[in-house]
Amino acid sequence: MIRFLVMIVALGVIGFGAFWLVTKPQTIDPEAISGIEPDLARGEAVFIAAGCASCHAAEGAQDEARLELIGGRPFPSDFGTFYAPNISPDPATGIGGWTAEDLANAMRHGTSPQGQHYYPAFPYATYTRASLEDIVALHAYLMTLPAVKWVNRPHDLRVPYNIRLSLGGWKFLFLKDDWILSDAPTPELERGRYLVEALGHCGECHTPRNALGGMDRSRWLAGAPNPTGRGTIPNITPAKLGWSEGDLMTYFTSGFTPDFDTVGGHMADVVENLKQMPESDLQAIIAYLKAVPPVE
C-alpha cells in the first residue's frame, strides 16, 4: 500500500511538472531582437494597422486625443468584462518602463513583464504572427506618444476565469502562430494575409468561438455573436460578403456601405484606422477577403 501511494504521489509530481513546463509563460529569445533598429515611420504604420487606438484610446476620442492611450474601455464577454489598460508611455500607470522585448513578449506570447499570463482579450492570439521588426518599430513609436497618468481598472471576471494560472492551458490549446490561409502565392495576397491575420486581428471579432473562448479556425471570419448581446458580427467570407472590390474600398475609406448605410459600433474605429492606411494595403486586404475560403 505504501509503495502504491508513493507511486501515485510521484506520478502526480511528474504530471504537475510536465503541465507547468507546457503551460508556463513563454518569452522570446532576447537575441532575436538585439540587432533590430527601430523605425518610427514603420512603427506608426503598425500602430494604425494594428488598431491600437481603437481599444486603448478613450471612447469617442477624436484626432490627437486618439493618441492618448489611457485605456478603460469595457469589453464584455461570456467570462466577464475586460477593461483595456493604459498603454501610454507613463512610467507609473502605463508602459513607459517597458522595453521592446517586453512588448514582444506581450504580443507574441501573451506574457507580461512580470512573467504572468495576459488574458486573450488582448489579441495576442493574432499578434503572435507579427514580425519582430514591426514590434520593435511599434515600441519605438509608442514611446513618442503622450504620457498620461491614468490608473487601470481591474477586470471584472467570474470564477474560475479570474485564475490566471489556467491561461497556460488555454494557450497550449489555442495559441498557434501558423497561417489560416496557408497559400498566399502573390506578394499582394501575402501582405493581405499579414494585415488581416497578424496586425488587423479581424478574426478576433468575425470568427466564432468555442466554449473556452478559442477561435473556431474551421469557421474563420464566418461571423459571430456580438459580445455585447446586441445582434451579430457579420460573416465576411465570400459566402456572404458579396461586395465588389470598389464597394469594399469605399467602405474602408469612407464608412459608407453599398446600401447607403454608414458604419457603426466598434467597426467605426476600425474604419478610422483603415482610412489612414495606404491604398496598396487596402487592396491587399481586399484581395485576402476575396481569397479566403467561403464559409456558410
DSSP secondary structure of 9-28: HHHHHHHHHHHHHHHSPP--
* Sites in the chain below the pLDDT cut of 50: 4-6, 9-21
Euclidean distance between CA atoms 108 and 72, whole angstroms = 23
Question: Which residues 6+ apart lie within 8 Å of 209 measured at CB?
Answer: 215, 216, 224
Q: Which three cell numbers stand for residue 240?
A: 456572404
Neighbours of 161 (CB within 10 A): 18
Alpha-carbon distances, residue 282 vs 58, 239, 289 (angstroms): 26, 20, 11
| Preceding omega of 76 cis (within 30 degrees of 0) | no
Which pTM was predicted?
0.91
Neighbours of 45 (CB within 10 A): 20
Query: What's the per-residue H, E or C state across 110-125?
Result: CECCCCCECCCCCCHH
Q: Which three cell numbers stand for residue 41?
A: 515611420
Q: What is the DSSP letter of 78?
A: T
Q: What is the DSSP letter of 207?
A: S
- β-pair type (232-233, 224-225): antiparallel
Question: Which residues 6+ apart lie within 8 Å of 130 measured at CB?
Answer: 46, 50, 107, 108, 198, 199
Torsion of CA 141, 145, 147, 150, to 10 degrees: -90
The pLDDT, as a whole number, for residue 18 is 43
Q: Domain coordinates of the chain in residue numbers?
A: 29-177, 178-296
Contact 195, 284 (CB under 8 A): yes
Residue given cell 502526480 in the structure block: 12
* Closest by CA position to 286, among listed 241, 254, 256, 255: 241
Question: Which residues 6+ apart lie within 8 Å of 58 measured at CB?
Answer: 65, 68, 70, 72, 73
Q: Which three cell numbers stand for residue 144?
A: 513618442
The pLDDT, as a whole number, for residue 231 is 84
The pLDDT, as a whole number, for residue 12 is 47
Task: List pLDDT tens digits, range 148-173.
Answer: 999 999 999 999 899 998 899 999 99
